[in-house]
Structure 1
Amino acid sequence: MFRHQKELQFEVKVERPDAVLARQVQELLGGQFGEMSVMMQYLFQGFNCRGEEKYKDMLMDIGTEEIGHVEMLCNLISQLLDGVSPAEQIEAAKDPMTAAIMGGTNPQHLIVSGLGATPKDSNGVPWNSGYIAASGNLLADFRANLNAESQGRLQVARVYEMTTDEGVRSVFRNMIARDRYHQYQWMAAIAELEEKNGVAVPGSFPPEAEMDSQQHAYEFWDLSAGTQSSEGLWAQGSAPDGTGDFMYLKDPLPIGKKPNPNPPHFSTHNDINL
């Protein structure tokens, strides 16, 4: 059960309208790594979670918080669009310099949403569920969550540098701080699961089950010009789980044979030379 509370998690109060910034904030709302994505990702991971109750509870806690972040950004976009009318924009656009600036506004804010936020990115591309990961494997999902929070915090920090509005920056600082905590949170959860199930996903398919292919789990194949990649920890030393040692392979040769597929049935009308 969800219950809406009218107060926002953090204060949202802009100093002045800014339609161009409103468009930029749309990326933080409905972009691939926006708040809608983490909201849906955490909630669906929580809805589908089976097993230890603490993981489900954590996912529902943070997923519900992200609903609040979506609401905050919708309020922020609305405030940035306050006082903007179609007639005023048309009149202002008669000035060449203003017209150039207004080219960065989002026309859908006027035409489609009536000066409100939309579930889309900064270019008007609709948010879609393909942005989220909810596999049922907690370690795999939590790693996806860490990536989502890393990318999300990066994008908020970039938009932060695009404005001097202290009210907007205050909202962003709160979001950046929460995203930092969420990264800590996923790191802690990942470390706990790695300690319990191993570092490779899925832990239920152990290295010994790979049988004759196990040696390839430790080989770094140099397949591009240069040998600088040999200097990384991924090409020397031991695997994180201690099951083997890495090996650097310079100019590796293919192990398989050249494929020789059978011609398709004539009824497919493929253009091939028989």
Structure 2
Amino acid sequence: MFYHVKDLQFNARVSKPDPRFANLLLQQFGGPNGELKAAMQYFIQAFGAKEPYPDKYDMLMDIATEEFSHLEIVGATIQMLLSGVNGKLKDAADESEIMQIMGGKAAKENVIHEAMSNPHFLLESAGGPILTDSRGIPWSGTYVNANGDLTVDLRSNMGAESRAKIVYEYLMKFTDDPYVKETLKFLMTREVAHFQMFEAALETIQPNFPPGVLQADPRHSNTYFNMSTGAGFKGPWNEGESSKLGETWQFIEDPIAHVEATNGLIDQEIAGTDRTEALIAKINKDLSEERSQEVKEATTEGENQWSEYALSGDAKENSKSSGTRERRQRTATKRGKK
């Protein structure tokens, strides 16, 4: 149940109108890394977590709701940056006025350029935010990632928060309004906070690597193919031990010769790891049963309801009275049948 408080979570302000930056800010309103995408992604992911992971359901719903509040902050900022545009567009008697938005801030050619890159922004919204990115591409549900496995979804969310943060960083380079920068800094900082929340939630699910349930094939989980010619580089991604599985990286200097010698990797032997195919089969079986049982035990069969409502004193009394009336009616009906 959503309850809208009309005051913003953060007191968004602007020092002056700036239609051009308002257009850029649409990237975080209806863009692929924006606030609506984040809100919908966490909202959708939460449904599958409700029964097996009620604590993660609570977190996802809380963060999704906060993301909706951030969408409101971005929308309010866009609206303030467009202050006066709506009135200018309504003034049909003075066609040249809109071509000199905000007293000469944008010359006619700049307005034409903006219209060419995102015509819907001014031509259809008349000076209000719309669900597109800064180029006018409509928001799409395809931006949302929800795969039904929290070890996957939480990692997707960490990526989403990372991408949203860097967009805010870039946006701050295109405005000199200290108030707008203050708002963008707040929104950017909340991305950092959410990243840590998702990371912490992921660590409470063990084991959580690799993502999902099935384990990696030990023949191929620690091979690094030198796929380019010229100067090569070594690092913890291709030498020493792998970060999660603790296997020794096998550097394949000549991938073509290696593929030919192993019959297209079919005859690849296990090297640099203690993991065996028998061990992997056992882990797959045990973890599959564990995760399946986890969901089954948390799933209600037959009649079900999503919420348990805490009633106030008066509501409880009314509920009791209602229950008493229903019992009397059922008794009367039974007697009538006799």
TM-score grouping bracket, smaller chain normalisation: 0.7 to 0.9
Classify 1:41/1:119 alpha carbon distance in 2 versus 1 (closer, same or farther; 3 Å).
Answer: same
1:74 and 2:83 aligned: no
Q: Does 1:146 align with 2:146?
A: no
Q: In the alignment, is the contact (CA less than 8 A) between 2:119 and 2:136 conserved in 1? A: no
Q: Is the 8 A contact 2:8 2:69 kept in 1?
A: yes
The residue that corresponds to 1:238 in the other structure is 241
Structure 1's consecutive aligned runs of 4 or more residues displaced over 6 angstroms after TM superposition are: none
In 2, Cα distance between equivalents of 1:146 and 1:198? 14
Structure 1 residues 167-186: Cα deviation after superposition (integer angstroms, max 9, x where no partner):
21111111011111112222
Q: Counterparts of 1:76 and 1:218 in 2: how far apart (Å)?
A: 49
- Structure 1 residue aligned with 2:114: 104
Alignment of structure 1 residues 210-225 onto 2, 5 Å: 210=217, 214-225=218-229
Structure-2 residue corresponding to 1:263: none
Residue 183 of structure 1 pairs with residue 187 of structure 2? no
CA distance in 1, matches of 2:188, 2:159: 15
Task: Report the counterpart of residue 128 of structure 1 in structure 2.
Answer: 140
Structure 2 letter corresponding to 1:65: E
What corresponds to 2:305 in structure 1? none
| Structure 2 CA distance for partners of 1:28 and 1:114, relative to 1, 3 Å | same
Q: Distance in 1 between matches of 2:223 and 2:48?
A: 36
Aligned twin of 1:30: 30
**Who wins on radius of gyration, i.e. which is larger?**
2
1:45-84 aligned at under 5 Å gives the runs: 45-49=45-49, 50-84=51-85
Aligned sequence identity (%): 30
1:256 paired residue number: 264
Deviation at 1:130? Answer: 1.2
TM-fit CA distance, 1:240: 2.9
Question: Unaligned stretches of 5+ in structure 1?
Answer: 258-274
- Of 234, 237, 250, the match for 1:247: 250
Mind listing any 5+ residue stretches in structure 2 that lack a counterpart?
Answer: 90-94, 266-338
TM-score (norm 1): 0.83
Q: Does 1:200 align with 2:204?
A: no
1:163 to 153, 171, 175: 175
Contact kept, 8 Å, 1:222 with 1:252, in 2: the verdict is yes
CA–CA distance in structure 2, aligned partners of residues 147 and 219 of structure 1: 25
Greater relative contact order (CA < 8 Å, ≥ 6 in sequence): 1
Q: Measure the CA separation in 2 of the matches of 1:197 and 1:42.
A: 22
Equivalent AA in structure 2 for residue 232 of structure 1: G
Counterparts of 2:244 and 2:163 in 1: how far apart (Å)? 27
* AA of the residue aligned to 1:189: A
* 2:222 and 2:250 in contact (8 A); partners too: yes
CA 145–92 in structure 1, closer or farther in 2 if over 3 Å, else same:
closer
